[in-house]
Structure 1
């Protein structure tokens, strides 16, 4: 089939044509191009609310695309070197869940690292699949979990030959990459699918000198957050399929949970951003890499902060590193990452992506400018000079290896009771506890609560991390399984 021109943006073009026709709306949405909600039009602009329209024949339908949306998906597949692509309007959460629900059924085993996003565990709750964890090594200084080592993956595969899939982060929030091509070869030799969470890896498809993308590595499916490093609107994402995956079946799975009222603001932003990356992504991400490496060098010259990068690569647990991730270790200044995060926002009007117990992450992408980098570096130098303190008594580490006692689905739907966090050790969690971002659970449903975990939860809360996942908004109590629910259950 002849390749389409990446200069096209069919959804955007259809919206432009629709706008010129001045169609009188007797359909939803009810704001009627903003006339019914002047404050909304004032906030977002008349052009924006004028294009917030419903599905109709000239604009196609995301649930069953036959014209402009289908063409936009085909262009996206070509741009990302995939066999098929789906435009997603429920964020990469919906793309991740689409992948897992497409390959896993109740009782199926899926091999994965524990440092996955909560959307992965949520998918297991929905479908009843059972996690088999490859517990990654932890960098004891930085307090971050590393990649999946090939030998560990092979051991888990041999111990669980009935597993249906392997799930890989490519890269992690902190920029760590596993040996994805080798994991793919190993998994396929065992008849297992490989699913990649590329929420933070859009640029891998367009930049040079960066870690391998999931499609290039031969992974079967990949969830790609276009809105993170690709420039589209928040909540817009892509689900990519390689050869050998039944795209029609995947569409049916997506439609189980995806809205039937897809936002054309999100769809057109995906269309336009794909075109932008296809035409200009190579040079855009070259500038991103240059800015990130410059920032890394300048921050390391401050003293007290450590902006890590390719110096971490060891060929095993850190097979490669995504240098666009400006991850910075802060504890040598006696400051938790979340404290630096708060200082940057409250004192310097700089909003970074996140801060955890040990690190901060400044997300650098195609919209950044060198003067913004200079401002960040200057603020960090100021913080080091003004706020540095003794680090005695500070915790380190964001990953605590869990013991899975019951499946996430069983735990989530079991009878539960509320107990104080300080008294929860020895019980089985019936809910999530996480710092968000990054959204990696400290506790997931079905895992045993330990003294180490409760200490970490209380410390993260004290330091000001944004804690989520619990029924109790104050994170003073945890929902745990009633003891009769645990008795006799299978231990995984």
Structure 2
């Protein structure tokens, strides 16, 4: 613990929101406020399901517990501790997931008509933010690894070219890392953005552990980025839907708070906030040791899975110094096509026949998400199941698609297309039309189509193939995706 504590200015053993809730629990306050379940008494079934410990602290904002919209006491202290732990100038506790964090980040940087440079393989939350604010995307289309069918990071020269061709752009957004663990040269991109007078934003939904890991890729704050959205609930161990928004010293804290308050709830969940507080404390005190163990488990799993044959659990060998500048070794991504199965098929077999739930399966790959709660015995169970699946289901993979990413043809801004007059057409009749809604496999939530993009035969083939293989398709108004909304 002493090694970790030397990194921090503040006492990271503190958890002020948790401490205030514990004190509140002992006060036996009579509740004539919301929520209406009144510490669980009004909803015994919910209390039996979640437990008295949980519903007893599902409370509303009050003076002793501070207010998320305008924190002045315990929430403010928790944010200061989070900023200290993550090396940020300020941290905001977010209770709308990293979607809310990403949207607040983009809305802070961009106004209507502003250009923002970003890779097309961003999460839908980024493009949702462009629909809301009216900013215009300048896409840096990532390279694709032909064997794996996955999109890579942004090349330095691609970013430099985009900055040169769009000097009035206000920001550059970077995935750090991608869902598959691929990292761009973040330090170089930050430097290029700042030299051009632009902000650098990082979507770190899958990079919480970068702040507490030896030998892992650089974190956004360490690289000098201006803002970063961090999914504490993914690798950080907090409750689902809890997140952090980090900012650097050159971003106005008060303005960011105003942007957050445009869309974030005024009834912040103390369950989510306390989970952020406790999880931050856990990572600050034990994160380096824990994530070292996670990386070791993932490396062991890669070796064992590759020894099975047929699968390819990829890792740092993909690094090329540019489009794959670094790789997150905690990510256990496995290519499955060589055993004749799409990733989503392996995903379904693991869940249905082996009671193993992995993060996602797509056309060519699966991702097993390893973090602070995993143990070696679960790794052994996963490896054994994959070996047995290969033995039972191995087949000829001829005819399987591999491409996960298709370069878009942008015909209108996301906001223009989303709010424009539209009509619904059968899927195959939309070829050549401009889409006005999102289509994606979830997870990972990276759009195959976004509002304003032209629909091509290749995209339609991909949608039908992904549906046939069992991918969970989301986004369109038609839940069966037999029709798409297009510009009228």
Place the TM-score, normalised by the shorter chain, in its bin.
Answer: over 0.9
Shift of residue 420, structure 1, vs aligned partner: 1.2
Secondary structure (helix, strand or coil) at the match of 1:168 reads: strand
Shift of residue 284, structure 1, vs aligned partner: 0.4
Aligned residue for 1:451?
A: 457
Shift of residue 422, structure 1, vs aligned partner: 1.3
Aligned residue for 2:23?
A: 17
Per-residue CA deviations over 1:450-488 (Å, capped at 9, x if unaligned) read 000000000000000000000001011100001xxxxxx
1:286 aligns with 2:256: no
Q: What CA distance in whole angstroms lies between the structure 1 residues aligned with 2:155 and 2:475?
A: 29
Aligned residue for 1:471?
A: 477
1:96 aligns with 2:133: no
Shift of residue 13, structure 1, vs aligned partner: 0.1
Q: Which consecutive segments of 4 or more residues in structure 1 shift more than 6 A?
A: none
Q: What CA distance in whole angstroms lies between the structure 1 residues aligned with 2:341 and 2:249?
A: 48
Q: What CA distance in whole angstroms lies between the structure 1 residues aligned with 2:242 and 2:420?
A: 33
1:170 aligns with 2:192: no
Question: After the TM superposition, which residues 132-147 of structure 1 pair with which residues of structure 2 at under 5 Å, given as runs?
Answer: 132-147=138-153
Aligned residue for 1:394?
A: 400
1:213 aligns with 2:219: yes
Question: After the TM superposition, which residues 334-413 of structure 1 pair with which residues of structure 2 at under 5 Å, given as runs?
Answer: 334-413=340-419
Q: What CA distance in whole angstroms lies between the structure 2 residues aligned with 1:351 and 1:455?
A: 28
Aligned residue for 2:445?
A: 439
1:257 aligns with 2:263: yes
1:414 aligns with 2:431: no
Q: What CA distance in whole angstroms lies between the structure 1 residues aligned with 2:418 and 2:323?
A: 32
Shift of residue 80, structure 1, vs aligned partner: 0.1
Secondary structure (helix, strand or coil) at the match of 1:222 reads: strand
Q: What CA distance in whole angstroms lies between the structure 1 residues aligned with 2:314 and 2:415?
A: 37
Q: What CA distance in whole angstroms lies between the structure 2 residues aligned with 1:375 and 1:390?
A: 26
Which deviates the most, 122-131 or 412-421?
412-421
Aligned residue for 2:198?
A: 192
Which deviates the most, 214-223 or 418-427?
418-427
Per-residue CA deviations over 1:73-101 (Å, capped at 9, x if unaligned) read 00000000000000000000000001100
1:227 aligns with 2:205: no
Q: What CA distance in whole angstroms lies between the structure 1 residues aligned with 2:208 and 2:349?
A: 29
Q: Which runs of 5+ in 2 are unaligned?
A: 1-7
- Which of 6, 9, 13 is the aligned partner of 1:7? 13
Q: What CA distance in whole angstroms lies between the structure 1 residues aligned with 2:342 and 2:96?
A: 32
TM-score if structure 1 supplies the norm length?
A: 0.97
Per-residue CA deviations over 1:198-255 (Å, capped at 9, x if unaligned) read 0000000001000000000000000000000000000000000011110000000000
Aligned residue for 1:110?
A: 116
Shift of residue 423, structure 1, vs aligned partner: 1.6
Q: What CA distance in whole angstroms lies between the structure 1 residues aligned with 2:376 and 2:219?
A: 27
Q: What CA distance in whole angstroms lies between the structure 2 residues aligned with 1:465 and 1:312?
A: 26
Secondary structure (helix, strand or coil) at the match of 1:470 reads: coil
Q: What CA distance in whole angstroms lies between the structure 1 residues aligned with 2:351 and 2:38?
A: 38
Per-residue CA deviations over 1:169-188 (Å, capped at 9, x if unaligned) read 00000000000000000110
Q: What CA distance in whole angstroms lies between the structure 1 residues aligned with 2:44 and 2:355?
A: 30
Shift of residue 3, structure 1, vs aligned partner: 2.8
1:150 aligns with 2:156: yes
Considering only aligned residues, what root-mean-square deviation do their CA atoms show, in Å?
A: 0.6
Q: What CA distance in whole angstroms lies between the structure 2 residues aligned with 1:298 and 1:41?
A: 44
Q: What CA distance in whole angstroms lies between the structure 1 residues aligned with 2:10 and 2:156?
A: 38
In the comparison of the two structures, how many residue pairs are matched? Answer: 481
Q: What CA distance in whole angstroms lies between the structure 2 residues aligned with 1:348 and 1:217?
A: 41
Per-residue CA deviations over 1:244-268 (Å, capped at 9, x if unaligned) read 1100000000000000000000000
Q: What CA distance in whole angstroms lies between the structure 2 residues aligned with 1:96 and 1:3?
A: 27
Q: What CA distance in whole angstroms lies between the structure 2 residues aligned with 1:67 and 1:393?
A: 60
- Which of 435, 448, 469 is the aligned partner of 1:429? 435
Shift of residue 416, structure 1, vs aligned partner: 0.7
TM-score if structure 2 supplies the norm length?
A: 0.98
Secondary structure (helix, strand or coil) at the match of 1:133 reads: strand
Q: What CA distance in whole angstroms lies between the structure 2 residues aligned with 1:38 and 1:415?
A: 48
